[in-house]
Amino acid sequence: MLTVSKEFNVCVWRNVIHFMFKGTLIVTYNSHLLDSCMSTHLLVFSFLTLFLVQEEAPSKVFGVPLSHLRKTGLMRQGLPLALTHLVGFLEKHGLSTCGLFRVGGTVLRQYELRKCFDRGGFPKMNVEDVHSSAYVLKHFLRTLPGGLIPEPFMIELLKVFKMFRLSKRHKAVKKILDTIPEENYNILCLLTFFLSRVAAASHANRMTTTNLSIEFGPIIFHVPQGPTKLEEEEMCISFTEYMLDNLRHLLPNIYPQASAINTAGDAVSEAEEDFTPKKCVQQVLLAETSSKPAKIGRLGRLRRRFLHFWQKFGSRNGRCKVEPSGAGDVQ
């Protein structure tokens, strides 16, 4: 998209208003045929202007690295706040929506939601915003630099996916997934288990794991341009479907089990609820559910040394051994 300055934007819109006013006078004076032609020209000119005019400030949420979100305070517990906001809203109001993630909603509403997130806010959304918010979620993943699963890991995953049979594939794939960057890993866990909940309601939304993999396969993996791009994208779609069908063998469920899920027959009583940053953080508690070892502080290291010493002391004196706590249990 062409980048233009603020002064140019003001100039363009001034010309548009002048053109519309002048055109209206001419059309009023002349025949209805000119009125039809002028309306067509105004419509085309308005669309061209919308494509030329870009946001005045650079995006703070979309199309930026995860490290940028972390530095600017737009992440909590390894997850972008905008993403948890969208997932929480869609889980509450979108699981029973037919064609979820296939219908894009309105362009204007998509722009408003993105603009609000870029300003550091959390837009108020109602049930009419389901399709628009679903598109914004996809847009966040699509514009993530390097993709949610970076290319080196994508190559290894597809290689293992083609080589190993199902009996050995789980272990090999899980080993690779555990090595991707931590923030990408957290988002992948949140996204895939949310999509599994969408697929569980496929009787209402018509989005099975096959349909979801078609939508999200090319988004999770950013396949580079080349002669084998289409073939690799098809492989990514197949791998995404395999991953959604075998989540419990591949990824830990960091998605909150206690969160409320609206079924097809539930009434939306909180359609206009405002998701605050605090509520977004409460939705995902990585410290309680992440399968990766938690970081150990100074007190944890001292406790481990004490237990190790006591174990040796007890073995020398014929006492019972004391099993040290796991790394994840040390606060």
DSSP for 65-82 reads -HHHHHHTT-EETTEEHH
Closest CA to 130 of 91, 169, 162: 91
Report residue 165's pLDDT band, with 50, 70 and 90 as the boundaries: confident
Residue 50 has a pLDDT of: 46
Rounded distance between C-alpha atoms, residue 259 and residue 194, angstroms: 11
pLDDT of residue 171 exceeding 90, the answer is yes
Rounded distance between C-alpha atoms, residue 126 and residue 97, angstroms: 13
Query: What percent of the chain stands above pLDDT 90?
Result: 52
Cα dihedral 110→111→112→117 (10° resolution): 90
Q: Is the dihedral of CA 71, 73, 75, 77 positive or negative?
A: positive
Q: How far is CA 129 from CA 86, 281, 289, in A?
A: 11, 22, 30
- The owner of tokens 């909180």 is 270
Cβ pair 5, 13 in contact under 8 A: no
Report residue 152's pLDDT band, with 50, 70 and 90 as the boundaries: very high
User: Which segment of 175-184, 216-225, 265-274, 295-304 scores lowest on mean pLDDT?
Assistant: 265-274
Closest CA to 236 of 252, 211, 219, 251: 219
Two structure tokens written together for 275: 């998701």
pLDDT of residue 189 exceeding 90, the answer is yes
Rounded distance between C-alpha atoms, residue 186 and residue 329, angstroms: 19
pLDDT in tens, 60-116: 899 999 999 999 999 998 999 999 999 999 999 999 999 999 998 899 999 999 999
End-to-end CA distance of the chain, in Å? 48
Residue 312 has a pLDDT of: 62
